[in-house]
Amino acid sequence: MFSGAVLKDREMLRRIGNLAGPAVLEQALQTAVQYADTAMVGQIGAAASAAVGLTMSCTWLVNGPLFAMGIGVLACIAQALGAGDATRARKAGAQGVFLVLFLGILMGVLTVALAPFIPYWLGAEAALAKDAGDYFAITCLPMVFRAGNIVFASALRGAGDSRRPMLINLAMNVCNVLLNYLLINPAHLLDVGFVALPLWGAGMGVRGAAVATALSHVLGGTLMARAYWRHPTLSPRQCGVRVDRALMRRIISIGLPVTGERVAACLGQVVFTGLVSRLGTLALAAHSIALTAEQAFYIPGYGMQAAASTLAGNALGEGNEKKLRDTSLTITFIAAALMALMGAALFSFPEALMGIFTGDREVMALGASVLRIVAVSEPLFAVAIIMEGVCNGIGDTRASFMISAGTMWGVRIAGTLMCVCVFHGGLQAVWCCMVADNTCRCCLLLLRFVRGRWKRRLNILAQQR
C-alpha cells in the first residue's frame, strides 16, 4: 500500500514542503508567543494568571465554530481547484465572507453580553470574576476580525497558500507581545548596557493584556481579509460576493461535525481537569504545567495538518485515488517521524522542560514523570492529527467527529473516572488514560482510511461529473 518509492517522488515532497513548511513555522511561532504571553501575565501575579486562564476553555469553545467553518471553506476550495474549477473555488471563498460577518457579529454580541456572568458560572470568587470577565469581554469585542483571520486563513490554505497566513500571524503575534509589554507594565526604566532608557507603560495589568490581544486580532483580521481580497485565484472582485446556497450547505455540512468535535473536546477537557483537581494541588499544578510544556511537541503534526487537508482535497477534486492515498500516507509518515524525534527529546529531557515553568521540585518531578509517559505516544498522536486533516480535506468530518468524541469520552474521561474515583490512582494513571485516548483515535482513523471509506466520495464526484 505504501512503499519507499513514494518518498522519492520529488514533486510530491516539494509540494508538501511548500505547504507544510510555513504552517509548521507558524505553529512554532504561535507556541513561542504563547509561552511569552503566559510569562508576561504571570509577572503581574498569580491572580492575574488565574483571571486570564479561567476563561481559556471558553475561548477555545468560541473559536471552535470559526475553525470548523474555516475547514468547510478550505475543503470546498481545495476540491474545486483539484477539479480545475477556479470559478467554484472563488464562490466557495465568497461564502466565507458571509460566514465571517454572520458568525463574527452573532458570537461577538453573545460573548460580550455573557462575559460578566461566565466567571461566576465557572466558580470564580468575586475578586477574580471581575478581572476575568473584563478580560474575556475585551478580547471578544473584535470577534468579526478574529473570525476573518481564521476563516480567510483557511481559504488561503485551501488555495495552496500557507505562506501569507504564516506571515500575517507572525505580524499579529509580534504586535501582541509588544503591546503586552507596553500596556501591562507601568512606565519604567529599561537598562541597555550602561544606559537607563525611560519607557512608557500604561500599567493596565490584566486589562492591558486583553487590549493587546484584541488589537492584535484587529490587525490579523484586517491583513488576512486584504490578502484574501487580493488573491489571484480567490478574489471575488470579478464575480462579486453572492450567497450560493448549494456551496453554503456543503460548507456547513462539513463544518458542523467539526464544531461538534471541538465542543465535545472542550467540554471533555473541562471534565478531565475537574477529575485531575481531585488529586490535589500538587497534581493539578504538575498536570497544567506539563500540558503547556507538551504543546511545543505537537508543532510538526498540527503544522502539517493543513497541508494534509489541502492536498487530500485537491486529489479528491481531481478524482485521483492513487494521489490521495500516496500523498496522505507520505505526510503521515513524515509527521510521525518528526514527532518520534520530538518524543525522544521529550523523554530524555522532561525535567529541564518543566524547569522552564516552575522551580518547585515536587511539581517538576511529577510533571517530568507524566511527560515521559506521553512522549512514547507522540508518533501515534501524529498519525491521528494527519488522518483528521485528511478527513477534513475530503469532507469526511462526521466520521472524525464520532471517533474523536467517542475516544475522548469513552476512553479518556471514563478511564480517568475509574482511575481516580474507583482505583484511587495518581496523575501517572490519568496520563495513561490520555495516551490510551490518542492511541485509540489513531488506530480508528487510520483503519478507516486504510479500508478506503473515502473512495465513496470519489465515486460520488465521478457520477456528478
Q: How far is CA 241 from CA 80, 92, 222, 225, 236, in A?
A: 17, 10, 18, 14, 6
Q: What is the rounded CA–CA span in Å between residue 318 and residue 321?
A: 9
In the prediction, which pLDDT does 193 show? 63
Structural domain spans, the chain: 1-19+278-465, 44-255
In the prediction, which pLDDT does 231 show? 92
Nearest to 234 by CA among 165, 308, 306, 307: 165
In the prediction, which pLDDT does 458 show? 66
In the prediction, which pLDDT does 55 show? 73
In the prediction, which pLDDT does 411 show? 96
For every one of its 465 residues, what pLDDT tens digit does the chain have, with 9 covering 90 and above?
A: 555 545 556 777 788 887 777 877 777 776 776 666 666 776 676 666 666 766 777 787 888 889 889 989 988 999 899 888 999 999 999 999 999 999 999 999 999 999 998 888 766 677 778 888 888 899 999 999 999 999 999 999 889 888 899 899 889 888 988 898 888 877 666 666 666 666 666 778 888 888 998 999 999 999 999 999 999 999 887 777 888 899 999 999 988 898 888 888 888 877 887 788 788 878 877 887 788 788 778 888 888 888 898 888 888 888 888 888 989 999 999 999 999 999 999 999 999 988 877 778 888 899 999 999 999 999 999 999 999 999 988 888 888 899 999 999 999 999 999 999 998 899 999 999 999 999 999 999 999 998 877 777 666 665 555
